[in-house]
Amino acid sequence: MNSNKYTLDRFEGDYAIFLKRPEEVEQVIIHKSEIHVQVKEGDIVQINDDGEDYDIQVLSEDTSKKSNMIQNLLNELKNSNNNPL
């Protein structure tokens, strides 16, 4: 796997499901016990795999940018629904 960016999509039981960016189709499933940082759904992370352990780093700036972009899109949708043609 080496080093790549992923989005934490969800937790299923004791596992975290990460989706490879930017397409977010390919999954990486990691047991919670192997995650040594605090992560939440929607976080964008860098995962480094040395073959034995996972080094996961939360990319706070990338996560914040994505969250702001999504919020702006939601606001545009709300505003377009308030202005019927």
Confidence of residue 1 (pLDDT cuts 50, 70, 90): very low
Residue 50 has what pLDDT? 82
Cβ neighbors of 19 (< 8 A, separation 6 or more) are: 6, 7, 9, 25, 26, 27, 28
Measured CA to CA, the distance from residue 16 to residue 35 in angstroms comes to 9
Higher pLDDT, 15 or 25: 15
Domain housing 67 = 3-82
Higher pLDDT, 79 or 32: 32
* CATH at residue 39: 2.40.50
Residue 56 has what pLDDT? 94
Residue 3 has what pLDDT? 56
Residue-wise pLDDT for 41-75, tens only, equals 999 999 998 888 899 999 999 999 998 999 999 99
How many distinct structural domains can be found in the chain?
1
